[in-house]
Structure 1
């Protein structure tokens, strides 16, 4: 608490997470580290879900194990602007059920707490909701959220408009509030300072503690649809009564307000991290190595095991979705990108690296809808770097925003490429000729680390200016393509046209100036399209 109060008036170093409105400060990170380290001293075997840990790449998985769910500063934007509603939220769950919750509103010096079955309190005074049954007399709190795309904003405003038209507490009294912290919003419901709170898009750490506080104060906590509340769903209504909760649910248009693919992206990150752990374990053991299209096109049991893990995990949640997986295509499955939501998966990008324990191996998961890429996740398993990109929402590595290099001089550039697995002498000659021409521009250097996905992420992170290759597959580059674009880069075909994901040809660069100069040097050779072949992978 004192850490937050001391930092409140100080100058702050502010960074971005998922969007320009999603802020984080050194104090958020410091407070979370302080809380987790203090708890670990006494409970070393317990699990943690912390906002900043998840932003840095930790998986937000709630298991049956004793788990602490922590928001170190709920209301970071308030904190940055010294707006006086900032809270620390700590919940404790066992067997996926919250047993107690604590919300400390720092500037107000109000300590809200609740234990399951034992009531709710604020500064040791018992809490009760208003008990209001008439929605037309309700004061409602909600939040603007961090989403700034047109769909989210238009749905937000239309939902507020529908509630005001009920009307709630009269049209002139100003009956909707937004104080900038979900935990305090819900504690206001628990203490009868408001009659309802609703939101889509908050996280489990925002509301785990306060949801129990509302329930123990006599209120109700529902899903935004009116159904049973699920802590990990990112959707909630907390209200003084079931009648008010139902009234709110009836006037909220969920289908447009909810982000339809955020759950899918969260799952992709969690599954990629799980797959990475399998890869790291396998690196310590002997490997069974097989060949696919040539003696240098390798596959291991780990490739197949990881792909099965990823696809089975996704199918449990999205059974109607389609899949393009490297090992599935190698086994004869059709490589077809349709309008259906489609996951494009390379379970082990850099299999030859993996076989030789060369430390660049990635899990690549891209997701497309109506043939357009929506998000990409690339997990560099040995480095423990989680790269993510979401169309229109930026690119990140372990929660830190990515930005391509601002270099425009090709002679000051570092270029990455690969030699591929095609050993036809004419093809090899063209690969080497291209590399020689680029080296003689001259550029600072050419690098080859053995994984297309990681190469492209190096461009996205500003470590290299360009990547090019002929012979890659859609699963090699789908996820990283989103990451490059969202980091401010460009993608094109090796002959200068727009990128065709199934063409097996790509140039990724920090800007079009660099990309066009790379294109001029490439000696093109034929590569059979992914969507016209089934078994030739490399």
Structure 2
């Protein structure tokens, strides 16, 4: 546990670290026994598994029991709202398994995500890759960490200096990803996609990737990772968090030396 700060959160962050570790262990047990996994299809290129449901249930029950006054927003379980008379100003935003398509196919590129929002600001974010035992942490005003050691974004000054992660979904505008990839390549860059937006954002924060672009992501997919990029010295597109919690938003996050280039390319790809 990072001991360099004290958050005014009544122990929520420290508790969340223990919860995400347990959730990761649970998810990993499912991943190691995929032949028994029950999988459902929610829509085009949109899967949900027994693992998603049970991991989210564990996180919800753990957080709800410890902090019953907090709101919880999750990918599978929707929005759980406490009684108005007991409601706090804290909101948990969770994705039990980001990268479900990878998970159910046995591809080790998925993660568990928890973000903590307070008064319309993202206070902290956690992204755990159980397969690699990598815990990414971001704390507003403090920094970003990988397994408790500080991490920083790339020092790249050009798209040719590294790989740009890209994302798209069934919500993307027709042709967006084609245009985005072509523009990156035309600028001398290399594109990367691992089908887990949260994990890709963590990699940007750690300097493994130089940036990330997607025309729309849900709050549970990116609030934690976007905070990490910012706290690791990167640039992001600032947004109204209350709106993001309801509708999601566009994501451009990158090292300072390439942020403007990636933002410009994203603008053009969305036209």
- TM exceeds 0.5? yes
1:158-183: CA deviation from partner (whole Å, max 9, x where unpaired): xxxxxxxxxxxxxxxxxxxxxxxxxx
Q: Does 2:218 align with 1:469?
A: no
Residue 27 of structure 2 corresponds to which residue in structure 1? 279
Structure 1: runs of 5 or more not aligned: 1-16, 23-145, 148-257, 493-497, 526-538
Q: What TM-score comes out, normalization by structure 1 length?
A: 0.46
1:162-311 aligned at under 5 Å gives the runs: 259-261=7-9, 263-285=11-33, 286-292=36-42, 294-311=43-60
Asked whether the equivalents of residues 491 and 499 of structure 1 are also in contact (C-alpha less than 8 Å), the reply is: no
Q: Does 2:162 align with 1:413?
A: yes
Question: C-alpha displacement at 1:358, in angstroms?
Answer: 0.8
Which of 517, 520, 533 matches 2:264?
Answer: 520
Asked whether the equivalents of residues 339 and 370 of structure 1 are also in contact (C-alpha less than 8 Å), the reply is: no
The alignment's C-alpha RMSD in Å is 2.1
Question: C-alpha displacement at 1:342, in angstroms?
Answer: 0.2
Question: C-alpha displacement at 1:268, in angstroms?
Answer: 1.0
Question: C-alpha displacement at 1:262, in angstroms?
Answer: 6.3
Q: 1:488 to 1:346 in 2, by over 3 A?
A: same
Q: Following the alignment from structure 2 to structure 1, what is the Cα–Cα distance between the partners of residues 154 and 239?
A: 21
Question: C-alpha displacement at 1:259, in angstroms?
Answer: 3.9
Question: C-alpha displacement at 1:298, in angstroms?
Answer: 0.5
Residue 435 of structure 1 corresponds to which residue in structure 2? 181
Q: Does 2:228 align with 1:478?
A: no
Q: Following the alignment from structure 2 to structure 1, what is the Cα–Cα distance between the partners of residues 216 and 107?
A: 21
Q: Following the alignment from structure 2 to structure 1, what is the Cα–Cα distance between the partners of residues 159 and 240?
A: 24
Secondary structure in 1 aligned to 2:8? coil
Residue 239 of structure 2 corresponds to which residue in structure 1? 499
Q: Does 2:195 align with 1:450?
A: yes
Asked whether the equivalents of residues 94 and 113 of structure 2 are also in contact (C-alpha less than 8 Å), the reply is: yes
Asked whether the equivalents of residues 360 and 383 of structure 1 are also in contact (C-alpha less than 8 Å), the reply is: no
Matched length? 257
Asked whether the equivalents of residues 122 and 227 of structure 2 are also in contact (C-alpha less than 8 Å), the reply is: yes
Q: What TM-score comes out, normalization by structure 2 length?
A: 0.88
1:370-389: CA deviation from partner (whole Å, max 9, x where unpaired): 11110001001211100011
Secondary structure in 1 aligned to 2:175? helix
Question: C-alpha displacement at 1:333, in angstroms?
Answer: 6.3
Q: Following the alignment from structure 1 to structure 2, what is the Cα–Cα distance between the partners of residues 401 and 284?
A: 31
Q: Following the alignment from structure 2 to structure 1, what is the Cα–Cα distance between the partners of residues 251 and 8?
A: 29
Secondary structure in 2 aligned to 1:277? helix
Structure 2: runs of 5 or more not aligned: 82-86
Q: Following the alignment from structure 2 to structure 1, what is the Cα–Cα distance between the partners of residues 10 and 133?
A: 22
1:109-137: CA deviation from partner (whole Å, max 9, x where unpaired): xxxxxxxxxxxxxxxxxxxxxxxxxxxxx
Secondary structure in 1 aligned to 2:214? strand
Structure with max Cα Rg: 1
Q: Does 2:145 align with 1:396?
A: yes
Which of 90, 108, 123 matches 1:359?
Answer: 108
Q: Following the alignment from structure 2 to structure 1, what is the Cα–Cα distance between the partners of residues 215 and 51?
A: 26
Q: Does 2:59 align with 1:315?
A: no
Q: 1:333 to 1:311 in 2, by over 3 A?
A: closer
Which of 112, 133, 142 matches 1:384?
Answer: 133
Runs of 4+ in 1 over 4 A off after TM superposition: none
Question: C-alpha displacement at 1:357, in angstroms?
Answer: 1.1
- Greater relative CO, 1 or 2 (CA 8 Å, sep 6+): 2
Q: Following the alignment from structure 1 to structure 2, what is the Cα–Cα distance between the partners of residues 361 and 328?
A: 19
Q: Following the alignment from structure 1 to structure 2, what is the Cα–Cα distance between the partners of residues 459 and 481?
A: 9
Question: C-alpha displacement at 1:355, in angstroms?
Answer: 0.9
Secondary structure in 2 aligned to 1:435? helix
